[in-house]
Amino acid sequence: MKTQVGIIGGGPSGLLLSQLLHLQGIDTVVLERRSRDYVLGRIRAGVLEHGFADLMREAQCGERMDAEGEIHDGIFIAHDGIKERVDFKNLVGDSVVVYGQTELTRDLYEARDRMDGHVLHSVEDVKPHDMTTDAPYLTYREGDEVKRIDCDYIIGADGFHGVSRKSIPKENIREFERVYPFGWLGVLSETMPVSPELIYAKHERGFALCSMRSQVLSRYYIQVSLEDTVEDWPDDRFWQELKNRLPEDVAESLITGPSIEKSIAPLRSFVAEPMRYGNMFLAGDAAHIVPPTGARGLNSAASDIYYLYHAMLDHYKKGDDTGLDTYSQKALARVWKGQRFSWWMTMLLHRFPENSDFDNQLQQTELEYLFSSDKALASLAENYVGLPF
């Protein structure tokens, strides 16, 4: 088989690029290790910045997002028994769209189906080859048969644990990493959200987040120890602990119910540089991940796809390779800003077990400063709604 752009990974990054390129007449094949149901069963992001929403519309995948997604003009930060609002609209004149990654991925799959896009599921042993030559290719296994796809370019959009980044020789890639000493326990429940806008809560027992997918589907998280397992957190214990960490009035109005999904995610900051190896380009979680506190992960993936899409267009339509040659540099400049913001939000709101009294005082002062300065709040708002691509 032959294609122009061979994409490893059928998550949001790979599917979005495939769809955008297809609309411009550029041929792609997406190779996904898992089944479609498995990919759609993963509960992840919920907040899209406006630039991402625009990209979904450009990909002709924005209809359901526009109908069912909720525009949020701000968030709450709860601390010391109160909650204070960060008003994005007033501070920076922008907002975010609350629409689940699951739904967005479903929309992308459906669009690929409508256009007879090539998305192959449950393929095994995907490997990129000859990336530094003009004739790179991919192999994969279907049953006992090894198949080959020749391409002009390979895109590594296969997430943090994928094969693309790991196929780059160690001396050609540099990795930056910080691992945080806690995780997030997430619960999805068919209950009405406790607040019309997200609440990020700092508490001495640990961080908590009240989020949502719709008016009948809530998503809540609490900071937990890395040793904890989902079995340690039956629903009753989870709801009680969540209430402990929220201001009293919020805790009193929280509607609880059975969890329909429960999982623990460790928190990590990670960047691999450069995001190119020969004719293979890395995008999204394959190249960088953030702790979820600033809602940047999926949004950083979207900005990579924006740069790659335009770089590919310039290459195929104008014979201009400037975009491809500057992709890594441009993408990383924005990725690092997302890293900075996610790290800052994480440091601001979590309980760090090893913190000294001095560290804790500084953390408290950071929060007091934030709510005493419109300029500091505007900086938070500007980063949360998304820096320009």
Q: How far apart are CA 106 and CA 128, in angstroms?
A: 26
Say whether the peptide bond before residue 234 is cis (omega within 30 degrees of 0). no
Q: Which stretch binds ligand RFL (CB under 6 A): 78-86, 157-165, 230-238, 326-334?
A: 157-165
DSSP letter (8 states) at residue 315: I
Q: Which stretch binds ligand RFL (CB under 6 A): 87-95, 128-136, 289-297, 375-383?
A: 289-297
Residue 34: both structure tokens together: 């898992």
* 234, 239, 241, 242 alpha-carbon torsion, rounded to 10°: 140
| Nearest one of 349, 261, 310, 336 to 46, comparing CA atoms | 261
**Binding residues with ligand RFL: total (CB under 6 A):** 36
141: left (phi over 0), alpha (psi -120 to 50) or beta: beta
Nearest approach, Cβ of residue 288 and ligand PHB (Å): 16
Q: Which stretch binds ligand RFL (CB under 6 A): 28-36, 62-70, 236-244, 315-323?
A: 28-36
Nearest approach, Cβ of residue 309 and ligand PHB (Å): 25
| Nearest one of 207, 156, 231 to 367, comparing CA atoms | 207
If the CB atoms of residues 105 and 293 are measured against ligand PHB, the closer one turns out to be: 293
34 binds ligand RFL (CB under 6 A): yes
Among 298, 345, 348, 380, binds ligand RFL (CB under 6 A): 298
39 binds ligand RFL (CB under 6 A): yes
**Footprint on residues 43-72 left by ligand PHB (CB under 6 A):** 45-47
Nearest approach, Cβ of residue 117 and ligand PHB (Å): 27
- In the sheet that holds 47-49, the strands lie side by side as 47-49, 96-98, 70-72
Binding site for ligand RFL (CB under 6 A): 8-14, 31-34, 39, 44-47, 101, 126, 157-159, 161-163, 184, 186, 265, 284-285, 292, 295-299, 301
